[in-house]
Amino acid sequence: MSEATTDGPETLADDASELGAHPLTAQRLAKLERYRAAGIEPYPVGAFAPDVTAAELHADHADLEPGSSTGRVVRVAGRLVGRRDIGKLVFGVLQDETGRIQLFAQRQILGDEDLEGFRDLDIGDWIGVEGEVITTKRGELSVAVARFVLLAKSLRPLPEKWHGLQDVEERHRRRYVDLIVNERARDTAIVRSRIVRELRRAFDRRGFLEVETPVLQIEAGGALARPFVTHHNALDQDMYLRIAEELHLKRLIVGGLGKVYELGRVFRNEGLSPRHNPEFTMLEAYVAYADYHDVMNLVENVIVEVVDEVLGDRLATYQGDTLDFAPPWRRVTMLDAVADVTGVRFELSMDRDAAADLAEDLGIAVDPSWGVGKIVNEVFEEQVERTLVQPTFVYDYPVEISPLARAHRSEPGLTERFELIVAGRELANAFSELNDPLDQRRRFEEQQAARATGDEEAHPIDEDFLRALEYGMPPTGGLGIGVDRLVMLLTDQASIREVILFPAMRPERT
RNA sequence: GGGCCCGUAGCUCAACCUGGCAGAGCAGCGGACUUUUAAUCCGACGGUUCAGGGUUCGAAUCCCUGCGGGCCUACCA
């Protein structure tokens, strides 16, 4: 697009573009032209520097009597989001990144011409205002406008002032509008940032090294999921977006970095749902010399720290349930949890067909290829997980579904693995890491056999990772936390799309 | 991938079931008002009813297809 020129055949407002075509935007385009003709730059640079925020003003002048004058002259800047025009007097509402402050414009201060100019601003315009801090007769803290500057002209109307933007699709596609008009959207984004910051602080404080490992990988390992495929042109090599951080972080433990974590984006080529976005944020951490009991304590301590900082309270409301994060959290083996909820006692030593019969009696459809471990896990996921509302560590998972976890030190068929379940959903997954390279190779080969029979999510063999283990990895505890789900819990959001600023969506029609 | 539901003015919603001139509020426009708080009052304006097809004298409404979205389900964190 070329810039508008004075010798153009038509004015901007007559333009056949989308903005010119609609009356509401055409009016604003015309206003833009009038500003330029009058020597007012609608997009000035360096025009105004605010010296205070709305929140600071409210904090500084919390208890002023109605009708007060403070004598304090301030400069505030933000978006004009409301206006009440009373003739020779105009009230405006200015919104900055900290909140809102009322603007009080009256003729006896501004004069006729400038009051008219103030009245002529559109809702949505960015402005800077200089004036005295006062309270009105009704006691509303305000800036009495002595001077104002247009900082950026807004050409599109904002959604309805009371209901805001409700349409879910519009809120996600046009998140910038959602953030302007919906306080909840702003709060969620801010709380997410605080959660991420507190997670970092918690691991930093414990001496962990934050690292960054490849997103583009030759093999996508570390979890059981279908990857996104892309192609490196110069290498003429297909590559995968990572589905986990795990295998590279363990390589760093081999390398002698004793405590590492990564907080980053992982990608899984699976369906969208209120709890699944194809890219999501995972925090993984690994500690040399720790086992899964140590990691349980670590997870409990870290999450309690985050909850304390973010909520200031260990009780959280999630979708109508009250969650009590006060430690210690319940710890129960997977087999005990299944027995508690279903009344059926499974053992890994049981005959496979006997286990299948028990599961089918519970209404579980059992695939012929499943072993006892997979069958029990299915019962757990189908009937037990959703009942675990309060924070609960479920531990000792079957080896069959845990190809990267260490075999249990005393229980055959199990691994030293736990999941943290909150509000019926997995929030963290952790284990005593498998550091026996020969056992790891056998596990990979079993996965490979599953892949050969059509399981696209079976774990591929990563020869370089096996080589790293062959150099020797110390006993290590590792964990993964689903950050988006933690944010959902602490912001009481039912959908992952509410905690991801720009969730995945189909392209819109044009 | 399967099932159910939704799509009407810039925004929030009616009218759809039971086919008959598409209506409000907010925003915008014109006017009144020097203390409003979703300001108030008066006036005029604003529509590809998601798109395409079908049924019908007549379709926002009923049917079909497509597009987009939501929820459930499946996979998963």
Contact positions of strand B to protein Cβ (< 7 A): 1, 10-13, 25-29, 32-40, 46, 67-77
Residue A351 lies in a domain: no
Cβ of A494 near strand B (under 7 Å)? The reply is yes
Tell me the two tokens of residue A208: 């962990």
Claim to verify: residue A305 and residue A442 sit in the same structural domain: yes
Distance (Å) from CA A439 to C1' B27? 67
Give the span between the Cα atoms of A7 and A29, in whole angstroms: 17
Give the span between the Cα atoms of A431 and A255, in whole angstroms: 20
Distance (Å) from CA A21 to C1' B46? 13
Claim to verify: residue A246 and residue A133 sit in the same structural domain: no
Give the span between the Cα atoms of A306 and A486, in whole angstroms: 10
Claim to verify: residue A224 and residue A325 sit in the same structural domain: yes
Cβ of A22 near strand B (under 7 Å)? The reply is yes
Spatial CB neighbours of A117, under 8 Å, sequence gap ≥ 6: A148
Low-confidence stretches of chain A (pLDDT beneath 70): 1-16, 509-510
Residue A441 lies in a domain: yes
**166-185 of chain A touching strand B, CB 7 A cut-off:** 166-170, 172
Q: What is the signed CA dihedral for A243, A245, A246, A249, rounded to 10 degrees?
A: 160
Cβ of A32 near strand B (under 7 Å)? The reply is no
pTM score of the predicted model: 0.93
The 10s digit of each residue's pLDDT in A376-425 is 999 999 899 999 999 999 999 999 999 999 999 999 999 999 999 999 99
Claim to verify: residue A212 and residue A158 sit in the same structural domain: no
Claim to verify: residue A320 and residue A449 sit in the same structural domain: yes
Claim to verify: residue A99 and residue A202 sit in the same structural domain: no
Give me the domain span that covers residue A436: 183-329+390-498
Chain position carrying tokens 């949505």: A124
CATH code, domain with A467: 3.30.930.10
Residue A172 lies in a domain: no
Cβ of A104 near strand B (under 7 Å)? The reply is yes
Cβ of A271 near strand B (under 7 Å)? The reply is yes
A292-311 and A483-491 helices cross at what angle (nearest 10)?
Answer: 40
Residue A450 lies in a domain: yes
Cβ of A275 near strand B (under 7 Å)? The reply is yes
DSSP, residue by residue, A201-250: HHHHHTTPEE----SEESS--SSSSPPPEEEETTTTEEEEE-S-SHHHHH
Q: How many domains does chain A have?
A: 2
Q: What is the signed CA dihedral for A75, A81, A82, A83, rounded to 10 degrees?
A: 60
Claim to verify: residue A138 and residue A215 sit in the same structural domain: no
The arrangement of strands across the sheet holding A229-232 comes to A216-217, A237-241, A229-232
DSSP, residue by residue, A345-407: ---TTS-HHHHHHHHHHTT----TT--HHHHHHHHIIIIIGGG--S-EEEEEEEGGG-TTBPB
Claim to verify: residue A107 and residue A156 sit in the same structural domain: yes
Residue A15 confidence (pLDDT): 53
Residue A118 lies in a domain: yes
Claim to verify: residue A141 and residue A220 sit in the same structural domain: no
- Side chain identity at A153, as an amino acid letter? K
Cβ of A139 near strand B (under 7 Å)? The reply is yes
ipTM metric: 0.93
Claim to verify: residue A160 and residue A221 sit in the same structural domain: no
